[in-house]
Chains A and B, each alone.
Chain A
């Protein structure tokens, strides 16, 4: 009966998370880690926190997994109707405002922080941060989730206006991997989504390809492989 000692697998599914959205000249890049935890157990080590709303607007979800999934489903539905009525692709601003209205009007019930990013022909690439209470804030870059605490200083120093696509992508991957190194609730792989006038590109950086930081050890295969090796190798620290 006291099997909750190790993990409460019926705890609400929350995404510890590190989520990032940055603008560069020509579009936006959204980045996220991939860990979903229930209590202390990692329920999904390869989740996809960057969800599509329309062809040109994606969101990064953090906080309660259920709440953020439901909000994104509703907003996708409303945006679809809006697109039909409007006759053109929806703008990022409209998508962000729909998210904001749901978050603000249900603030007592919901626990989710969202970053909306996309590209439209009127404003170009835009990032909107919508944290817990339902504020909407248009920013050149936004960070969210538990791992973002470790990135405020980093972005203050490393962010520059008008980066190229590759610079921005490297910045996002570096930032998420730094947060993963320090935040227990973030981990797994780094996923990025690049949105610009040409379309959408998804990228994936497995955990062992990320740069190593202070006192981090290289990933290697199970030490049980040593049993199959001919001579024992010294263990690394």
Chain B
């Protein structure tokens, strides 16, 4: 038990997610000591050639438990039953789309991040950099999409150094899908991955449980149905760049205006062979129009009776006795 408390405390200080107040009290504790999750407990697939008779059920093992421990989740459930309001987490309600046009891939996303019913960020970036030629839109829990794309982006960079070649989209795909499958859907990241590599343009969707699809056009997030309606009626093969950007913008706008979880502006990213354009806030259909030019004035409610300024007094006089002055 003691070890668990220590890890819990250190998790609080390390937590640098978008949340103002680290809600680590109600987050599952991750065993920070063991980075590689044992094949036995959480990565369920074992090599049949070598471990034919391995029992999967819980055995008393000498090896310490690795992987996720959900003990605190039971405590959290108990607390919620007793009436403690669980803090919301930052989700990207989201509409994210991608499509393949004649020369490459276009990705699009809205820019609203929600925390329950409140808009936490009116202009967040949902199109994440993976490699110079690969970008990834993320829907789901903001921390999860951010963390998983950053992690795989680092792995891709190391891979580039190792191989001396441009990264391929299928590499990013396999790294992401293995990571998400290992966490059995608890990493709530639904991604649209797109890029152009030596083998051509590619577009994939990746679901939180680790399954992937390869498609010519794709939508994800709460606004995916609205955006898919636009794509299904108007997508065709061999779109030009401008047609593609317009279609993506239209699909995202459809999500922004018809889905409560999506809103604010449209981000677009065009990736072609050898070049990319990240059009941040390509369209801003929701400007803040009613700004008072005079600014806000708040009438004084409390009357000032007396103003007195007292400089702080030194309680201790430092008298150098002799000897060497302190270093530093």
Using a CB–CB cutoff of 8 Å, the interface residues on chain A facing chain B are 1, 3, 6-7, 9-10, 12-13, 36, 38, 41, 43-44, 46-47, 64-66, 69-71, 74, 78, 98, 101-102, 105-110
Seen from chain B, the residues whose Cβ lies within 8 Å of a Cβ on chain A are: 44-49, 51-52, 54, 56-57, 93, 116-117, 140, 177, 180-181, 185, 188, 190, 205, 207-213, 215, 220-222, 224-225, 259-261
Contact B46 A106 (CB under 8 A): yes
Q: Which residues of B contact A98 (CB under 8 A)?
A: 48
B222 touching A78, Cβ below 8 Å: no
The 7 closest A-B pairs by CB, nearest first: A101-B48, A65-B211, A109-B44, A66-B211, A66-B210, A66-B209, A13-B211
A108 engages B57 (CB within 8 Å): yes
Supposing A13-B209, A43-B213 touch, asked if A1 and B48 sit within 8 A by C-beta, the answer is: no
Closest chain-A Cβ to B161's Cβ sits at a distance in Å of: 25
Residues of A within 8 A of B181 (CB): 66, 70
Asked if A9 and B190 sit within 8 Å, CB to CB, the answer is yes
Q: Are B221 and A9 in contact (CB under 8 A)?
A: yes
Query: Could you write out 30 A-B pairs with CB less than 8 Å apart?
Result: A1-B260, A3-B93, A7-B225, A9-B221, A9-B222, A10-B188, A10-B207, A10-B208, A12-B207, A13-B207, A13-B211, A38-B207, A43-B207, A46-B215, A65-B211, A66-B207, A69-B210, A70-B177, A78-B47, A78-B48, A98-B48, A101-B48, A101-B52, A102-B45, A105-B48, A105-B54, A105-B56, A106-B56, A107-B56, A108-B56
Least Cβ distance of B195 to chain A in Å? 20
Q: A1-B116, A70-B210, A78-B49 are in contact. List 14 more A-B contacts (CB 8 A).
A: A9-B190, A10-B190, A10-B207, A12-B207, A12-B209, A44-B205, A66-B180, A66-B210, A69-B177, A70-B177, A71-B45, A105-B48, A106-B56, A108-B44
**Distance in angstroms between the alpha carbons of A105 and B47 in the assembled complex:** 10
- A contact residues around B140 at 8 Å (CB): 10
Tell me the nearest residue of chain A to B185, going by C-beta.
Answer: A12
Shortest Cβ distance from A15 into chain B, in angstroms?
9
Take A69-B177, A101-B52 as given contacts and tell me if A9 and B224 are in contact as well, using a CB distance cutoff of 8 Å.
yes
A71 to B185, CA, bound (A): 16
Closest to B117 in A: A1
For B185, the chain A residues whose CB sits under 8 A away are 12, 66
Chain A residue with the shortest CB-CB distance to B174: A73
- Please, how many angstroms separate the alpha-carbon atoms of A154 and B140 in the complex? 43
Residues in B whose Cβ lies below 8 Å from that of A66: 177, 180-181, 185, 207, 209-211
Complex Cα distance, B58 from A108, in Å, reads 11
A38 to chain B: which residues have CB within 8 Å? 207
Residues of A within 8 A of B51 (CB): 105
Cβ–Cβ contact A6 & B225, under 8 A: yes
Contact assessment for A3 and B259 in the assembled complex, using a CB-CB cutoff below 8 Å: yes
User: Which of A44, A65, A107 is close to B215, meaning CB atoms less than 8 Å apart?
Assistant: A44
Measured CA separation A223–B172 after assembly (Å): 42
With the chains together, A74 CA to B213 CA distance in Å?
18
